[in-house]
Amino acid sequence: MSTFMDLHTPEDIPDTPAQRAADRRRLLRALNASLAFVLLLAMAFALQHGEDFRALTVTAREPAGLLGILTAPLLHGSFEHIAANAASLLLLGTLAMAVYPKATLRALPLFWVTSGLGAWLLGEPGSHHLGASGLTHGLMFLVFSLGLLRRDRPSIAAAMIAFFLYGGMLLTVLPQEPGVSWQSHLGGAIGGVLGALLFRRADPVPPRKKYSWELEDEDTFDEHDELEPPKPDDVPVLWQRPTEPRGVVLPFSRRDTPPTDPQRPSDS
């Protein structure tokens, strides 16, 4: 039966200095990409000062408000608003890009659009929605869902970190506080889950130790693997079955029955 866990497992990669250097470069690229996007938000926020930017927000149920699906995540209403989203994007973006660089890049346009659609479809008619909180929810649900689907060690660790830092996002997809666009949160979360389902195989599965019963070719079985149990014949036991027959049939001589005396009365 095919499951989400039918993922190809490559051969073991030695933990060499070159491999550790490659891991550091990938983490640095993820941090730089997240930081660059945060700086882009800061520039957009600086340009908003003194300007009427409502035309670039998601205006719910109005055709003109569909333009905000592309532009609203770049806009913020206050310094506290952009600071909260910037911190979430920096942490979750670095985590997602470091563990799933290909899946994150492919899923980002998906939950960018679904967060805006959620606000446009579910918001009060004429209400304005803006901010990157839909993207933060998309990243969190992407990382968390990939941990549930893939279940390798890096995926589980990333999901636990994301849940530990931003597990409260599981509740902010529902109406809680006036003025908070839970609709965009819900749309971003849906996009993150869809991205995890669609792109769960985009990044290679890290190597893991295989057991003997997982190997199709018996010739590849390593008898000296410390994680493998020994063969049944090699396990010492406290007793051994005897090799000779367990019992011997002894012959008995047949005892002749004395003849019956016809004159002797029988017992009755």
pLDDT score of 63 more than 90 = yes
Q: Would you place residue 134 in the very low, low, confident or very high pLDDT band (cuts 50, 70, 90)?
A: very high
Rounded average pLDDT over 191-217: 78
Beta bridge partners, 58, equal 129
**What confidence score (pLDDT) does residue 2 get?**
39
21-199: CATH superfamily: Rhomboid-like (1.20.1540.10)
Beta strand 58-59 pairing with 128-129: antiparallel
pLDDT of amino acid 192 = 97
**Mean pLDDT across the chain, nearest whole number?**
82
Those residues with Cβ within 8 angstroms of residue 122's Cβ, 6 or more apart along the chain or in another chain: 60, 183, 186, 187
Judged against a pLDDT cut of 80, whether residue 229 lies above it is answered with no
What percent of the chain clears pLDDT 90, i.e. is strictly above it? 60
Q: What is the DSSP string of 142-186?
A: HHHHHHHHH--HHHHHHHHHHHHHHGGGGTTTS--STT--HHHHH
pLDDT over threshold 80, residue 121: yes
Residue 81 and residue 130: Cα distance in Å, rounded? 10
Q: How far is CA 213 from CA 119, 152, 216, 232, in A?
A: 50, 19, 8, 14
Over residues 78-101, the mean pLDDT reads 95
Q: Where are the domains of the chain?
A: 21-199
Output the six-digit token pair for 175: 């109406």
Q: Which residues pair with 129 in a beta bridge?
A: 58
**Lowest mean pLDDT, pick from 1-10, 52-61, 136-145:** 1-10
Which residue type, as a one-letter code, is found at position 110? L
Q: Residue 97 contacts by C-beta under 8 Å, 6 or more apart in sequence?
A: 29, 30, 33, 34, 104, 105
**How does residue 19 score in pLDDT terms, banded at 50, 70 and 90?**
confident
| pLDDT for 23 | 82
Say what the pTM is: 0.73
Contact 155, 147 (CB under 8 A): yes
